[in-house]
Amino acid sequence: MEQPEVIREVKSHEDESILDQISLDLSQSLFERKFGSIVPWKEEVNRLLETLQKRTNHNVLMLGPTGVGKRTMVMRLAEQIAAGRVPSRLRNKKILEIGLQSVLPLIQDSEEFEKILFLAVKEALDRKDVILYFNQLDNFIGTAEGGFLDASYLLDAATRQRDLQVIASMSDWAYRKVVNENSWIRYNMASVTIQEPSRDMAKKILRVVRAKLEKFHELEITTEAVDRAIDLSNYYLKTRVLPGKALEILDEACAEAVIRNMRSRTAGGAVVDGKAIERTLSNRLGIPIEKLHHRAGSDLLLLEDRLGQRVKGQDRAIAQVADVIRVAKQNLSAKPQRPDGVFFFVGPNGVGKNELARSLALELFGSEEHLIRLDMTQYTEDDAAMKLIGGRGPGETKGILPRILAHRPNAVFVIEGIEKANSKVGPILLQILNDGQVVDGEGRMLSFASTTMVVIANSDNLLGEEEKTVGFTEAAETNKIENQRKAIENGTRSFFGTEFLMSFDELVFFDPLTPESICEITELQIAQIEERLYERGIILTVPHEVIQFVADEGGSKTGGASHLARLVETHILQPISRYLLKHPNAKKVRVALKKKRVVVSGVRDKKPASSSQKK
């Protein structure tokens, strides 16, 4: 190999080689050698051995998602070499792992980086008993440290040496990102793809790893904890793979148990059980424990009732949504990689489309923080696709979807105003709705498997002036609801293409609200005010005539119930706030209707009559 020009000598210990400083001898790890006995990829290990045995082109690139076990497979090979269960050409070889973090402390600039690696490769060639393993190869060819560190020329030369064998690993998306500019990877290295192990195999792997974690954390891990880590991580962390994601949850639960045990000063060692795994995952995802999948069965059975407590006048829409959610949450869907429910909400303004989406987030994930809104009026220009998924080149942007999924992989996505979006948004959205995934601007696959997708359209934007519907009907007009629903359905099918509409699990058409529904919504909003006041020790009394008065004012043919919240604030909340400022010690408050105006007064407790008065 020709030595690259350098400008600084790298200091090293006189009694320690460069390889000893920057590499890890994998054959020295007794734990991983035990772990290797159950590695499930026998065919892949054989492919690895066959490639290393070749006279030329004997380098291997292992591809697979983070956490699938690429490094463990190299450990399996190191175990077989140590045991002598390999061809004679590979016996007495040592696999030395080089990671970026072991190199960085020894360098100050990119030229030193290349020199360190040159010296390491040269030493490996001279020793003739070394197989070099570059973990996360993409870190060495310009993707780490902002592209500052790039040894692609050197590694190209190293993988063409007859007397040196190289193993490398990287994720699939990293490979797609770098291979076009580094064609030597394709020509000099034989690729081996590592598939995710089955759940049963992952459980076997973790039951072996359990002993190591118990020793490290000095605690006990139950079999229930291992099984729960597999099941819950597999359900909620769908963008990650087994066994890595389950091992991460298990390790995190152990760390939390150690800290909790220390703070409580409990005698004896801590125990990590199924409940500890639930707490860890709950804290990590921001989902209450009672909403976790395996505990939420009874909630799913009562989903219509629970959604109906918040959304009034849309029983048919609620039933459609609940049926789809139950199928998805039981993993009975024909395409499990798709979102847990893909819905198209269509209806006039103010009839509960957004409220149903919000209620769904509360029921599935326990918080409105899991409700993600994307307003398509912000994506009407030609750069709409780049704003959504990102792009490469000048002015490179991350994209809103990768950022959201990194922070909230479990969420209800609400896409509003789809009829106003740029045409470039359509293909992206179709991929998400049909396949549950899309490739972002960096070549990484984005998964929406843990989300619920709700696309919302205002029916008034789909119809002509003479066909426009209303969000509220008078009692005498209720017979027109069916005609309005048919107009909305026909307008929707005319405006959107068949391919787009076929992407949804359900087309959910919302009915105009009746006076009774408006009254129920008003009562619900006033009840929320009562709850807030009760938390402050104040009891609020609102008679039905006041509720009916606000409901009559709030029902709008053009806005449905969209203006109702403002009217409740104007007629109820604002007068109450003025009264409480004047009477800060008030504990009981009553509102009444006088001359079509809401007035607020205090309620005094009746004093018991004196003995003289009783006589």
Spatial distance between the Cα atoms of 178 and 142, rounded to a whole number of angstroms:
9
**Residue-wise pLDDT tens digits, 282-336:** 999 999 998 887 666 677 899 999 999 999 999 999 999 999 999 988 877 778 8
Q: Compute the mean pLDDT over every residue in the chain, rounded to the nearest whole number.
A: 87
CA angle 62-66-72, nearest 5°? Answer: 60
Q: Does domain 515-602 correspond to CATH entry 3.40.1400.10? A: no
Tens of pLDDT along 432-468?
A: 999 999 999 888 889 999 999 999 999 888 876 655 5
On the question of pLDDT at 215 being above 80, the answer is: yes
Class of the CATH-defined domain 199-295: mainly alpha
Instruction: Please report how many Cα atoms fall inside a 13 Å half-sphere around the Cα of residue 126, on the Cβ side.
Output: 9
| pLDDT tier, 33 (very low <50, low <70, confident <90, very high otherwise) | very low
Q: Which residues pair with 590 in a beta bridge?
A: 541, 601
Residue 396 one-letter amino acid? E
Closest CA to 270 of 247, 253, 284, 249: 253
| Per-residue pLDDT tens over the stretch 88-126 | 999 989 999 999 999 999 888 888 999 999 999 999 999
Cβ within 8 Å of residue 77, ≥6 positions away: 45, 48, 49, 86, 95, 167
* Enclosing H/E stretch for 371: strand 371-375
CA 41/CA 536 separation, integer angstroms? 62
Q: Between 1.10.132.10, 3.60.15.10, 3.30.300.30, 3.40.50.300, what CATH number should domain 327-509 receive?
A: 3.40.50.300
Using pLDDT thresholds of 50, 70 and 90, give the confidence band for residue 5: very low
Q: What's phi and psi for 192, nearest 5 deg?
A: -130, 120
- Is it true that 199-295 and 327-509 share their CATH fold? no
Measured at the CA of 216, the angle between CA 210 and CA 217, to 5 degrees, comes to 90
Predicted confidence band of residue 209 (pLDDT cuts 50, 70, 90): confident
Look at phi and psi of residue 151 and say left if phi exceeds 0, alpha if psi is from -120 to 50, else beta.
alpha
Helices 353-365, 315-329: inter-axial angle, 10-degree rounding: 30
**Prediction pTM value:** 0.85
Domain boundaries, the chain: 18-193, 199-295, 327-509, 515-602
Q: Which fold has domain 18-193?
A: Rossmann fold (3.40.50)
Question: Using CA atoms, how far apart are residues 122 and 497, in angstroms rounded to an integer?
Answer: 62
Give the residue with greater pLDDT, 486 vs 430.
430
Q: 């040894």: which residue's tokens?
A: 151
pLDDT 10s digits, 553-572? 887 555 667 788 889 999 99
CB 182 within 8 A of CB 147: no
- Count H helices, E strands: the chain? 27, 18
* 244-288 tens-digit pLDDT: 999 999 999 999 999 999 888 876 779 999 999 999 999 999 999
Q: Are 45 and 74 within 8 A, CB to CB?
A: no
Q: What is the mean pLDDT of residues 157-168?
A: 96
